Structures are given as structure tokens and as C-alpha cells.
Structure 1
Amino acid sequence: MDKVIIAENLSLSYKEFETIISKASFSIDAGAFVFVTGASGSGKSTLLKSLYGAIEPRAGQLMVGGVKMNRISTSKLNFLRRHIGIVFQDYKLIKEWTIEKNVMLPLIISGYTKDISGPQVQKLLGHVKLIHQAGKYPPELSGGEQQRVAMARALAHNPILILADEPTGNLDEYSSEVIWNLLEGANTQLKTTIVVVTHRIPSSIKVPYKHYHIEMGNIHEVS
């Protein structure tokens, strides 16, 4: 697959007579690392939601992972989400589940047995420096630790695409560094396509990247 995301004249909104994203056309290559920037309220999170099917295109066409997102069926959306990792700004961990089980969630959904998913989860918890917290619950962890758990969960099923919404917006320096290193590692070593919505591109980023900026409903590439 050459292009993981293709948008043609894409318009997005929540209400019939409003426009948040207007007639956007862009594409993202498989294996690319992409930043999407813009002011608060510019539509960054709205665009991200469209990429995992939380909202449908108002007009135009959108393809993600070879799946047409216009009027997508529940079965096709569920299939697509098995191949996407999502990192939310507010973590969205299940508070009643242990850290280990939270990371295991995508593997449970995909039907893997614990014999297979267990070692994968342990490896990922090692990557995010949280093996010692495996048996704890999300409320017992700091915000930075919870986001590292969310990052491990997003990587658990070896997705073709990771979508991250302000993944380090409220984190301490150490947790931010862990998150960026994991995203860069997934991109360079696993060839995972990465799309990050953020207010500011970190100066420490070491991989080549593409940059889109949203302003007044328009998306344009920044050279």
C-alpha cells in the first residue's frame, strides 16, 4: 500500500451548516511521520477523529488503510480499527483494569490468547519503563505514566497506522521523551505510519517528517 491516507475535497463538520475542515486534499505515504499543527479550535482533533471513523466526511472522499470512510459499515470500521493504534490526550484507559490488561486490550479484541499476548505486553511495558507497575490500576499512576501505558496499548497489535492527539501535551519531560522515542522507533524500525496532532513540533524530533498546518478550515503542507 503506497498511500495509507487519501483525502479528496474532504469537508468535516458536526452540524449541517458549519464547516470545520473545507475541501481538503492531501495524502500520506505508508511509513511517513506526519505532524498536523494549528491553533486551538482549528480542527486538528476533528481531522484525527475522521481518520479513525468517529465522524464521517460531510463531503468529499476519505480513504484510510484502503477503506473508504464515507458511510462506512460497522464491520468495516471494526476491521480498520484492528490495524490502527490511537493515543488520546486524556489516555482513555479502563480504570477497573490493571495496567497489564489495558495494554492487552487490542490483542484481546483481535482474539489472541494470553500465551501470545502476555509476552508482547511485557515487552511493551519494558519499553515504556513500567513493568513494575503492571499490576496497578490507572488511577494509581501519574499522568505521564498513564500516557506511556496508552502508548504501549497503541503499539500492542503492531498497527499499520498510529494516530496521536497531543500525546505529550501535559506530560513531564521524561515521559515526553519516552513517548517521542517510541513513536520514532515504531516509524523507523517497524515502518509504522505516524500522524501526530500537536500545537508545536518538538525540536528534539530526529526522523524526517511531513508537516500539515490547519488554518481557517484549510489544510496546507508546510515545506
Structure 2
Amino acid sequence: MSNIIRAKDLCLGYKKGELVIKNANFTIERKDFVFISGASGSGKSTLLRSLYGNLSIFGGNLEVCNINIERAGKRLINELRRNIGIVFQDYKLIEEWSVEKNICLPMIINGYKKEVCNSQVEKLLSHVDLLYKSNRYPLELSGGEQQRVAMARAIAHRPLLILADEPTGNLDDYSSDMIWSLLKSANEQLDVTVVVVTHRIPDRLNIPYRKLNIKDGEVYEYS
């Protein structure tokens, strides 16, 4: 798989006749690290939602991990999501589950054995400096800690693709630096393709990356 994402004349929106993304054409290759930028309301999150099959396509074609999003039924969308890690700005952790169990979720879905889950969770909690809070619940954590748990969950099953929507928008510097470090490591060491929606690209990422910008519904690459 060379192209992990391929959009051709892609049109997205929430009402027909009111398009947010118009005739977008772009490809994202395996192992790319890509930032999507644009003004508030430009369609960044809309585009990201389409990449994990959470938005209907009004025109054109979109393929993610060799799955045609427009034609995919529930089974194929679920298959797609097993290959994706998603990091939301509002974390989307399961409040009734412990930190440990939240991180286990994608591994459970992918059929990992219990002992593998436990080993992987311990490693990830060490990486995000939260091993001592493995039995806590999301509402007992700060916002930065919750996002670090969400980041650990996103990479737990070693996905092909990570999609992150403003992952550091509301975080302190310590948690922000940790999130960027984890995304960089996933890309460099695990060959994970990373796509991040952000208003601000970090200054000291020290990794080759691409930039897509959305303006007036059009998606274009800039250097």
C-alpha cells in the first residue's frame, strides 16, 4: 500500500448544495506526517471525519487504507477503524472505565490476548508518565492527563494511520510536548502515517512533514 489516503474531486458537507470541501484532490503516502491547517470553520475537522468514515461523501472519491469510503458498508468501516488510531480534542474516553481499560479498548477490538494487552498498557502508561494512575478514572485526571491517555489508546494497537484533531489545543506545555513526541515516535519508529489538524505547527518537531491548507473549501499543499 503506497497511498494510504487518496482523494479525487472529493466534496464534503452537511447539506447538499452547501459544500464545506469542494473538489479536493490529494494523496497521503505511507509514513507521511501531515498537518492540515486553515481558519476556524474552514473544514479541517470535516475533512478529518471523512477519513474514518464518519461523514457522507457528496461527490468524488475517497480511499483510506484501500477502502472506498463512499461504497463501504458498516463491516468495511469497522475494518477500516481497526487500522486507525484517533485522537480527539475532547479526549472521548469512557468515563466508567479505568485508564488501563480505556487504553486496552482498541486491542480488545483487534483480538489481542489479555497478557499482550496488559504488557502493552504498562509500556504505554510508562511512556505517558501515568503508570501510577492506571486504576484511576478519566474524571479523576486533568485535561492534559486525559489527552495523554487518549494518545496512548490511539497507538496501543499499532495502527497504520493516526488521525488527530487539535490534540494539543487545550493542554499545558508538558502534556503538549509529550503528545508531539509520541506522534513523532509513532511515525519514525513504527512507520505510522500521521495526519494532524492544528492551528499551530510546533516549532521544534524536527521531522520531515507536509502541510495541507483549506481555504474557501479548497485543499492545497504548501511548503
TM-score norm. by structure 2 comes to 0.99
Asked whether the equivalents of residues 33 and 195 of structure 1 are also in contact (C-alpha less than 8 Å), the reply is yes
**Helix, strand or coil for the counterpart of 1:179?**
helix
Q: Does 1:40 find its partner at 2:40?
A: yes
Q: Does 1:4 find its partner at 2:28?
A: no
The alpha carbon displacement at 1:112 in A equals: 1.7
Asked whether the equivalents of residues 98 and 138 of structure 1 are also in contact (C-alpha less than 8 Å), the reply is yes
Q: Which residue of 1 aligns with 2:128?
A: 128
Q: Which residue of 2 aligns with 1:118?
A: 118
Which residues of 2 match residues 19-58 of structure 1 at below 5 A? 19-58=19-58
Distance 2:62 2:99 in 1: 34
Q: Which residue of 2 aligns with 1:72?
A: 72
Q: Does 1:219 find its partner at 2:205?
A: no
- Deviations, residues 80-110 of structure 1 (Å, cap 9, x unaligned): 1000000000000000000000000001111
Distance 1:43 1:202 in 2: 21
Q: Which residue of 2 aligns with 1:145?
A: 145
Distance 1:152 1:33 in 2: 18
Distance 1:128 1:215 in 2: 35
The alpha carbon displacement at 1:120 in A equals: 0.6
- Letter matched to residue 189 of structure 1: Q
* Aligned sequence identity (%): 57
- Letter matched to residue 77 of structure 1: I
**Helix, strand or coil for the counterpart of 1:158?**
coil
- Letter matched to residue 42 of structure 2: S
| Residue segments in structure 2 that go unaligned for 5+ positions in a row | none
- Deviations, residues 158-198 of structure 1 (Å, cap 9, x unaligned): 00000000000000000000000000000000110000000
Alpha-carbon RMSD: 0.6
Aligned pair count reads 223
The alpha carbon displacement at 1:16 in A equals: 1.2
Distance 2:196 2:27 in 1: 15
- Deviations, residues 62-91 of structure 1 (Å, cap 9, x unaligned): 000010001311000101100000000000
Asked whether the equivalents of residues 35 and 196 of structure 1 are also in contact (C-alpha less than 8 Å), the reply is yes
Distance 1:47 1:98 in 2: 31
| Residue segments in structure 1 that go unaligned for 5+ positions in a row | none
